[in-house]
Structure formats: structure tokens, C-alpha cells
Amino acid sequence: MNHSYFGKRWILSSFLLFSITVLLTGCEERKVTFMKKNIGSALALYPAPTVVVGAMNGDKPTWTLVGHVGIIGHDKILVSLASAHYINQFIKKSGKLSVNIVDEGILSEADYVGSVSGTKVDKSEVFAYELGEAGTPIIHKAPLTMECSVADVYNTQGFESFICSIDNTYVEEEHLNEAGKINYHTLKPVLFEFPTYEYLKTGDVIGKCLSFKKNPEEA
């Protein structure tokens, strides 16, 4: 009997078994340490700025609260509204709307216009307003308002998303810095979190964009 041959086979088998065990153990550890839980298709881009959208219904305005807004490129925004909203017909008719940033000072009124339908309630007097240069209603107490023209409408199931160019932007002077730019240290938009239907505050400055130039792995 060749004891040397069988001894070598035993050593090789033991080494392979050890290697496989280490490999599997490492995979299990990585799975426990790094694997996130898949919760399915979740609309998770929150929180988002809360706005009141305004449009003219003849000679008076109508308003609604909107939590689904976004930025497209550097010159357009998106305002997404359920197709059944009363205000949609007036936006499509005029091709114009105002986007009024909500802060804590107008949150109660903003919440109200989002809780009742214009088909049942006349909301025209909820906010004091004036007409902007483009003819849209500008809320006096809103810290910032954008007048917009509808460039396109993107339809999805149950929603009409208005892609808008920005015609004019009106800002309370207290929220402009020395260079005439919007100062978000003083302008504090209310944020909306859809899954729990809660309003949140903006937080503190944590750094300058593109200032973290050092590779974190080298820190």
C-alpha cells in the first residue's frame, strides 16, 4: 500500500474542505453585514418641498396643495397632480400656473386647500393674492412664488404631470442674500413625507457641495 499517495490525497481533501468552509462562511458574513432588505416597489424619494399651486378660474383663483414636484434639467420643473383635481382644467385652459413655496407661516391654510375640493368649496379667498406679470395668482404671504407656463403634459395612470418653464420668480427680500440670490438659510420650505402624511422641517447646513474632495477610503 502506498501510504505516501493516500497521505497526499488526505491533505489535499482537507485543504479543499477548509477552503470551501472559509469561502461559504465569508459569503454568509457578507450577506448578513451588507445585504439590504428588499421592500418591493416603494415611492421613496422623500421628503419633498410642499407647494400651493394656483390658477385662475375666470376672475378668481383656485388653489391646491401639491407634494409631488421636481426639477427637470436647469430650466424646467414638474408639477404632478391627480387627474381628478379641480384645478387641472384651468391650468390646461390657460397654460399657466403659480407655484407658491409653503413655509410654516402659511402651512395651516396650505393644508386646508389640500383637504377640500374646488368642486365643492370656493377656495378663492383662502389666501390674499395679486396677479403676477404672467397673470397667475401670487400668494402674498408665500416666501417665494414661481410663475410658470406649461410646456408639456405627461400622462400616467390617474395623474397629469405638468412640465413647466419658469417665467418669473418672486421672492421676499428678507430671503435674498447680498448677491441677490435666494438664501435658503432663512427661507425654510416645509417638507412633505408621503408614506406617513407628515410635514417636516429643513435642517442645518452640513457641508458645501463638492467640498469633500478627499477619497473617504483614504481618510
> Domain residue spans in the chain?
48-200
In what helix (H) or strand (E) does residue 145 lie, and over which residues does it extend? strand 144-156
pLDDT digits (tens, 9 = 90+) for 151-184: 999 999 999 999 999 999 999 999 999 999 999 9
Q: Which residue has the cell 375666470?
A: 58
Radius of gyration of the chain (CA): 28
- The H helix count followed by the E strand count for the chain is 3, 12
Residue 174, phi then psi, degrees to nearest 5: -65, -15
pLDDT at 42 over 80: yes
Residues 6+ apart with CB under 8 A from 189: 49, 50, 101, 102, 103, 202
Could you count the other beta carbons within 10 Å of the beta carbon of residue 113? 22
Q: Of the CATH numbers 3.40.190.10, 3.30.360.10, 3.40.630.30, 2.30.110.10, which one belongs to the domain with range 48-200?
A: 2.30.110.10
The SS3 assignment for 17 reads helix
What length does the chain have?
219
Q: 159-171 and 96-101: which strand pairing?
A: unpaired
pTM of the model: 0.82
pLDDT in tens, 180-217: 999 999 999 999 999 899 999 998 999 999 888 777 77
